[in-house]
Amino acid sequence: MDGALDKYGNAVQWGVTAVKVEQDDERVDVMLQHADGEENVRAKYVVGCDGAHSIVRKSAGLSFEGAVYPQDFILADVQLEWEHKANLHIFIGHYGLLAALPLQNGIFRLVCSRPFETDTETEPTLDDFRAAIRQHVPGEVEISNPVWMTRFRLHHRIASNYRSGRLFIAGDAAHIHSPAGGQGMNTGIQDSVNLGWKLARVLRGESPDSLLDSYHLERHKIGLAILHGTDRIFEMMATTNPIFLFLRNWLVPWVVPFVMGDASRRASRMRFVSQLGIRYRDSPIVGNSRTWNGKLRGGNRAADGKLLGSGGETTLIGLLTGPEYHLFLFSGVGDAALDMQDLCEAEKSLVESKDSITIHEISTAEQKGGEGFVDVGGKLHDWYGFEGPGFIVVRPDGYIGFIGHLKDKDGPVPLA
């Protein structure tokens, strides 16, 4: 990530703390603390990705609603001698849970829940981890050479709003939850991607400031859903309730093979974990043409597929480069298809200016002629539902801004 930022001349400054953030109708003033002194920065907007104790969130007056989980956890990086050398292991039992994450050189990160009767103010010792391993792990395990040890509590909280005037929050500054399901980092990155392209359009004068309101409208409900989802997973994993323990320990060995044994259920689970199933269908900045009833709609993530162009094979997602919108014109298939010349003519009625949109024409192999891309076998046409000519407008974050039949369009495609 550092390398990617360096290419754009935006190297990360380390060891810098925001100590004061003030905004008015025109700007934001930020006081930064460096190792060698203070710096005052003036900006049009500020995005706080500054964690659970975010000064940006506090300066914006946004509440952080939620609570702390009752469980107390301890963590250590230690040397482990056991048969499970290279894999992540999670042990769930009557005593809570223990996770062992391989790092390097035989070092594992151990995370385990403490018994409720333990004094939560007591710092962990190596013996605490030995006891946890005896409770959870079968076989002989040698633990030694702790690199560091600590205790912590987990919170589940979400901000009341992701925007206040010229201040925005993202990532852990906007929502925190248990690590169950591995959703934290991807959620924060998607926050940033969702907001980033909108800020770019507003700062370039291509969209009004009101576009930025859609950031909260699209992302807050996603954060809330992930909070609730990870809550349920965590409560199942960390419960000490005897009834829930019985149900979990007896049902899980039967349920997991059932869920993971079916391809469609496996795919559904992977969509949740990968977050590729996230959609913004009720967003005010997405839409569909008046007769559109396809399975993919405005607000869905754009579906990917192979395309053949003059430069060789590529993919639809691979064409989504740069900060612009992308318009994909589909010829349709069979007798209903337009030839490439007619498809290029249709483009003129859909686009007012090419300054902030990149246009791609896609035909089936049978209809190929001139420039553009070939959807070999018509697989993308089928996936999107384009039997006749159609179009999709894809946002810079890879989501469909508008989709429909070409026959429905009587004016330029809407850009936020």
The CATH fold assigned to 2-63+160-236 is FAD/NAD(P)-binding domain (3.50.50)
Both structure tokens of 388: 């006749």
pLDDT tens, 342-361? Answer: 888 888 888 877 788 999 99
- The band of 4, judged by pLDDT with boundaries at 50, 70 and 90, is confident
Q: Where are the domains of the chain?
A: 2-63+160-236, 67-154, 241-278, 287-408
Tell me the CA distances in angstroms from 39 to 42, 46, 52, 55, one per residue in order.
10, 15, 23, 16
Whole-angstrom distance, CA of residue 40 vs CA of residue 23:
13
Whole-angstrom distance, CA of residue 191 vs CA of residue 221:
12
pLDDT tens, 218-261? Answer: 999 999 999 988 888 777 777 666 666 666 666 767 776 776 67
Whole-angstrom distance, CA of residue 310 vs CA of residue 268:
36
CB 25 within 8 A of CB 16: no
pLDDT tens, 88-142? Answer: 888 887 777 889 999 988 899 999 988 665 666 778 999 999 999 998 888 889 9
Check residue 306 and give its pLDDT: 95
* Nearest residue to 415 (alpha-carbon basis) of 109, 273, 202, 268: 202
Whole-angstrom distance, CA of residue 31 vs CA of residue 38:
7
Check residue 360 and give its pLDDT: 94
Residue at 36: amino acid letter: D
The contacts of residue 198 (CB under 8 Å, 6+ apart) are 207, 211, 212, 214, 215, 416
Query: Is 67-154 in CATH node 3.30.70.2450?
Result: yes
The contacts of residue 277 (CB under 8 Å, 6+ apart) are 268, 271, 301
Query: Is 287-408 in CATH node 3.40.50.11900?
Result: no
The contacts of residue 18 (CB under 8 Å, 6+ apart) are 30, 31, 32, 33, 48, 50, 55, 56
What angle, rounded to 10 degrees, do the helices at 263-274 and 242-260 form? Answer: 110
CB 144 within 8 A of CB 160: no
* 276 or 94, which is more confident: 276
Whole-angstrom distance, CA of residue 346 vs CA of residue 341:
9
What integer is the mean pLDDT of 274-278? 86
Ramachandran angles phi, psi of 83, nearest 5°: -80, -15
Whole-angstrom distance, CA of residue 67 vs CA of residue 177:
10
Check residue 330 and give its pLDDT: 95
Whole-angstrom distance, CA of residue 173 vs CA of residue 187:
12
Percent of the chain with pLDDT over 70: 91
pLDDT tens, 320-335? Answer: 988 899 999 999 998 8
The contacts of residue 90 (CB under 8 Å, 6+ apart) are 97, 98, 99, 100, 237
Q: Which residues have a catalytic role annotated?
A: 95
Buried b (16+ CB within 10 A) or exposed e, 196-227: bbbbebbeeebbeeebbbbbbebbbebbeebb
Would you tell me how many other CB atoms lie within 10 Å of the CB of residue 352? Answer: 12
